[in-house]
């Protein structure tokens, strides 16, 4: 019985030791992987920031603008097809962003985010004035992306919860390019509120070092625990 009890005890001890190493090693590997992932994201964000900084200024472009390009367009708004991007906030004021298609002088269609107007908490359809003549405006190009969280339907009357080209499909001819211009100056432009939501590369680097730091702590903890198990095993052998 003594030998059987000793065997069971050693077996239980080994499984505890294996479980210890498996748990902490998994944390080491996870921390290392997430650190590398954040490092890679930092490289991507740095490349994107450099591309935005060197983006050209374009006037009535006939090719796809690159992300962040300053675009100047000349054309006429289509006010009857205006939608409003809901729940925007500027300097503590609640309102909407005005979204109106524009037909440029070449007959191409662009979606223009014309800026912020205050509405308060009213849910009545916003009323805006739109020039009925040719205008010239300048803004920043943003390519369309389907990466935002959306809870419920996007379209509520003339309000959108998320900017998208979908509400105009089948209503006007196809847009020239998949994206929109965030207008900053020009005819029919309201208060500027939009800024590119780009996390700086330095923050991803900080996250990477945090994950690697946690992986190092896990590695040290695993090593200390391993020394304890080894000393415990030596003690058991002696007894």
Would the pTM count as exceeding 0.85? no
Residue 124 near residue 94, CB atoms below 8 Å: no
| Whether the predicted pLDDT of 7 surpasses 70 | no
**Average of per-residue pLDDT across 178-199:** 89
Q: Exposed, middle or buried by CB within 10 Å (0-12, 13-18, 19+), for 163?
A: buried
- CA–CA separation, 200 and 38 (whole Å): 12
d(CA 154, CA 138) in angstroms, rounded, equals 27
Q: In this structure, what DSSP letter does residue 215 have?
A: H
CB atoms within 10 A of CB 225: 15
Return d(Cα 22, Cα 14) in angstroms, integer. Answer: 12
Beta bridge partners of 97: 85, 116
- Comparing CA positions, the residue from 113, 146, 138, 148 lying closest to residue 128 is 113
Q: What is the pLDDT of residues 137-149, one digit of tens each?
A: 999 999 987 656 6
> Do 155 and 206 touch, CB atoms closer than 8 A?
no
Average pLDDT, the chain: 85
Render pLDDT for 74-131 as a digit per residue (tens, 0 to 9): 999 999 999 999 999 999 999 999 999 999 999 999 999 999 999 998 888 898 999 9
The residues near 226 (Cβ < 8 Å, ≥ 6 apart) are 17, 20, 21
Q: Give the pLDDT band (50/70/90) at residue 45.
A: confident
């Amino acid at each position: 019985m003594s030998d059987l009890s000793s065997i069971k005890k050693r077996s239980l001890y080994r499984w505890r030791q294996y479980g210890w190493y498996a748990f902490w090693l998994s944390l080491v590997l996870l921390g290392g992987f997430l650190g590398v992932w954040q490092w890679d994201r930092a490289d991507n964000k740095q490349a994107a920031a450099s591309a935005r900084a060197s983006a050209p200024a374009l006037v009535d472009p006939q090719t796809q603008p690159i992300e962040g390009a300053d675009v100047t367009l000349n054309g006429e708004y289509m006010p009857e097809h205006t939608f409003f991007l809901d729940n925007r906030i500027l300097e503590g004021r609640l309102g909407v962003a005005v979204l109106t298609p524009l037909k440029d002088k070449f007959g191409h269609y662009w979606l223009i985010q014309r800026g912020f107007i205050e509405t308060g908490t009213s849910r009545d359809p916003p009323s805006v004035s739109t020039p009925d003549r040719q205008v010239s405006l300048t803004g920043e190009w943003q390519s369309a992306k389907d990466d935002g969280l959306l809870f419920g339907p996007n379209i509520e009357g003339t309000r959108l919860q998320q900017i998208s080209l979908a509400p105009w499909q089948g209503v006007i001819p196809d847009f020239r390019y998949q994206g929109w211009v965030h207008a900053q100056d020009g005819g029919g432009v309201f208060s500027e509120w939009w800024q590119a939501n780009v996390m700086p590369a330095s923050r991803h680097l900080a996250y990477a070092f945090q994950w690697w730091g946690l992986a190092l702590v896990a590695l040290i903890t695993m090593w200390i625990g391993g020394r304890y198990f080894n000393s415990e095993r030596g003690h058991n052998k002696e007894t």
